[in-house]
Chain A
Amino acid sequence: MLPAQLRRFTAARVGLGRVGDAQPTGVWLDFQEAHAAARDAVWSALDPAALGFSAPVVRSEARDRREYLLRPDLGRRLRAEDAALLPRSGGVVVVVADGLCAAGVQAQAASLLQAFSAPWPVVVALQARVALGDAIGAATGAEAVVVLIGERPGLSAQDSVGLYLTWAPRPGRTDAERNCISNIRPGGLSHAEAATKLHWLLREARALGATGIALKDEMPAGALPPPDPAV
């Protein structure tokens, strides 16, 4: 077997060959191309007008991408003047957020929302961290908030979306009080699977009155729970 044949077994960059001790030109430029895509994805902006649905658009206190990257605390706070744009909702509210990579959210948000098949109000949030959902959830009076957010891009995937579910959202909630469904993308977790898992978690959260480490993900594999009349 030649080292290059090891590539059959993993997506890792194995069997690259050698020129002296370095990587040959072709595989080095493959790496550069993947890194370029990931870099551009970090600086990609969410275009609310092109999402394919209409929803109020709010911003965090981070004014631009650089400030967003340097000041995660500002990305968790709602810009004061935007509170008036929020809907009132006693149920679940969904926040569609750019996060660390807007590209996947731009491409997948509409289809993913459709997969939820629930009449939840939606808010689009820019320069947003996950915890911005706490401020939005509290301001809307929601019992739970679902933050649909772009995940940190890697070299192999720049279109991954995560869902964070927080029961009784309010500023000051920690990440230990949320449940996360990650790696939603073509080739990763499908929209139908993500929606099923979200509804399962939501029903457990409602029964428990909490999300996070108290709510263990013990959804049986392949189980499709019946529709929940409460949603």
Chain B
Amino acid sequence: MAFRHAIRGTTHVFPDLRTLLARASPFRSGDALAGIAAASAEERVAAQRALADLPLRRILAEPVIPPEEDDVSRLILEDHDAAAFAPVAVLTVGGFRDWLLAAAPAELAAIRRGISPEMAAAVSKIMRNADLVSVAAKCRVETRLHNTLGTEGTLSVRLQPNHPTDDPRGIAAAILDGLLLGAGDACIGINPATDNVESVLRLLDLLEEVRTRFSIPTQGCVLSHVSTTLIAMERGAPVDLVFQSIGGTQRTNESFGISLALLEEAQEAALALGRGTVGSNVMYFETGQGSALSAEAHGGVDQQTVEARAYAVARRFDPLLVNSVVGFIGPEYLFDGKQILRAGLEDHFCGKLLGLPMGVDICHTNHAEADADDMDALLLCLGLAGVNYVMGVPGADDVMLAYQSTSFHDALTARRLLDRRPAPEFAAWLERAGIGEGARIPGALSPALLGLS
């Protein structure tokens, strides 16, 4: 059934739910590229009005991609918890926004499994940036492997020590630099320059050596393809966390060379290693608006709704870490600082509402209309929103991936301004190791122990 709303004598008609969602989406270049954005500001607000009147139940009943042809749509229906949905089941999307803004944290936690990704995306489209921050700030999601992430009053950092040729000494130097600046509690996570198995095994050994030599209560991760990580586990490599990029449609995931069954196999293999010391969240997922369109696998669904669907995939595997890499994909999807800011806050909000331990890689490429000022604005907004973690890249400049993210210094600044601490086990370790203002390298972290001399 079509949706309609009249403004000053003009009736705007939206033939189906996915069209309504797309037209209601705040403007971004990717939806224009896909040819599904609203044609005018008036059409957009008409869609938002029609969306606000839509009962949440109707969203469950009308999948944006048919379940017969998409396993993510099937997963969303299978995982929906009707009892958790009950407290908000009678609401419209507009009523849901009001409910979210007024709700207590415990009420938000109770409905997590009852919220479908399309419901989260729908309500976000009629929320301002400050609304997205306010509601997300009430959602706490804690996860555990070698430490405890996401507790009240913490802000964690993934230490990202990438190197263009995976040189172990170059990577070790960046790890040490990050540790000295308090980064690394979310994980020490290397994007390998190649997916070559031997090279990935070497990096996994390096991470294990750093963790054990310095007795750091954190987890290591080499962000290779899940199929490569499975091979590494078969060969007995020390794998704490299984990484994979995921998307919100079956065909997007196929373009990444993965299936839900492959993710399940990898999770089982990592759990079987039994490496967790304080918990068993062994998965790490990255996502980002635009990946489905880039793979021509969006099915006419707007990029923010597809992104939220990826969180339903993540949720099934009880991840330790999930982050959107919000500005990485390029200006044809998110053109400038304004679009990146909005998308980063939407992604964090939707992930947290669904119960994910949401972090964000606050970043941009050089062909986007964005700079360090835009990154600062998003970092501080996400800090207020209670983001679980952000990236720590030396000087914000990733010399392997050729993009700019947040620096170790940025994370320190956010922690101080917002009065946040690292994960508790990691904070205690920083103190034990004598890491303070970073003018000298403490004896406990001797570079020689990592082959740097």
Residues of chain A whose beta carbon lies under 8 Å from any beta carbon of chain B:
1-3, 6-16, 18, 21-23, 27, 31-32, 34-35, 38-39, 41-42, 69-73, 100, 152-157
> B335 contacts A70, CB within 8 Å?
yes
B402 touches A152 (CB 8 A): yes
B30 to chain A, nearest CB (A): 10
Asked if residues B332 and A72 are in contact (CB atoms below 8 Å), the reply is: yes
Assuming the contacts A22-B413, A69-B332, asked whether A9 and B169 have C-beta atoms less than 8 A apart, the reply is yes
Q: A70-B331, A154-B402 are in contact. Are A13 and B394 (CB under 8 A)?
A: yes
27 contacts between A and B (CB under 8 A): A1-B441, A1-B447, A2-B440, A6-B177, A7-B173, A9-B167, A9-B169, A10-B167, A12-B161, A12-B177, A12-B395, A12-B399, A13-B395, A14-B174, A21-B413, A35-B372, A41-B366, A42-B366, A69-B331, A69-B367, A70-B29, A70-B335, A71-B332, A152-B367, A153-B367, A153-B402, A155-B402
- Say whether B177 contacts A15, CB under 8 Å: yes
Instruction: Contact check, A35 vs B371: say whether CB atoms are below 8 A apart.
Output: yes
Q: What interface size band does chain B fall in?
A: 35 or more
Hey, what's the 0/1 contact readout for B162-181 against A, CB within 8 Å counting as 1? Answer: 11100101111110110011
Are the CB atoms of B409 and A3 closer together than 8 Å? no
Q: Does B19 contact A (CB under 8 A)?
A: no
List of B residues within 8 angstroms of A9 by Cβ: 167, 169-170, 172-173, 452
A7 to B397, CA, bound (A): 14
- Whether a CB of chain A sits under 8 angstroms from the CB of B404 is yes
B404 and A155 form a contact (CB under 8 A): yes
Chain B 331-346 per-residue mask, 1 if CB under 8 angstroms from chain A, else 0: 1100100000000000
Min CB distance B290 to A, Å, is 11
Q: Is B396 an interface residue (CB 8 A)?
A: yes
Contact call A31/B173, Cβ cutoff below 8 A: no
Q: Which 8 A-B pairs have the closest CB atoms?
A: A13-B395, A154-B402, A10-B170, A9-B173, A14-B177, A21-B412, A38-B366, A12-B394
Asked whether B394 lies within 8 Å of A18 as measured between CB atoms, the reply is no
B contact residues around A7 at 8 Å (CB): 173
Least distance between B282 CB and chain A CB atoms (Å): 28
In the complex, what distance in Å separates the CA atom of A189 from the CA atom of B279?
A: 45
- Asked if A154 and B399 sit within 8 Å, CB to CB, the answer is yes
Contacts A9-B169, A12-B395, A155-B397 known; 17 new A-B pairs at CB < 8 A: A1-B441, A1-B447, A3-B439, A9-B172, A10-B163, A11-B164, A12-B173, A12-B394, A13-B394, A14-B174, A18-B439, A31-B396, A32-B372, A73-B33, A155-B366, A155-B399, A155-B404
B201 to chain A, nearest CB (A): 20
Does B416 touch A at the CB level, under 8 Å?
A: yes
Most buried by A among B174, B367, B371, B402: B367
B437 at the interface (CB under 8 A from A): yes
CA distance A70 to B294 in the complex (A): 13
Tell me whether B395 and A3 are in contact (CB under 8 A): no
With A and B bound together, what is the CA distance between A18 and B416 in angstroms? 14
Q: B residues 145-199 with Cβ under 8 Å of A?
A: 161-164, 167, 169-174, 176-177, 180-181
Q: Which residues of B contact A1 (CB under 8 A)?
A: 441, 447, 452-453
Contacts of A32 in B (CB 8 A): 372
Contact B367 A12 (CB under 8 A): no
Cβ-defined partner of A153 (8 Å) among B169, B177, B366, B437 = B366
Question: Could you say which residues of chain B place their CB within 8 Å of the CB of A12?
Answer: 161-163, 170, 173-174, 177, 394-395, 397, 399
Is B438 an interface position by the 8 A CB rule?
Answer: yes
**A9-B172, A14-B394, A70-B335 are contacts. A22–B177 as well, Cβ < 8 Å?**
no
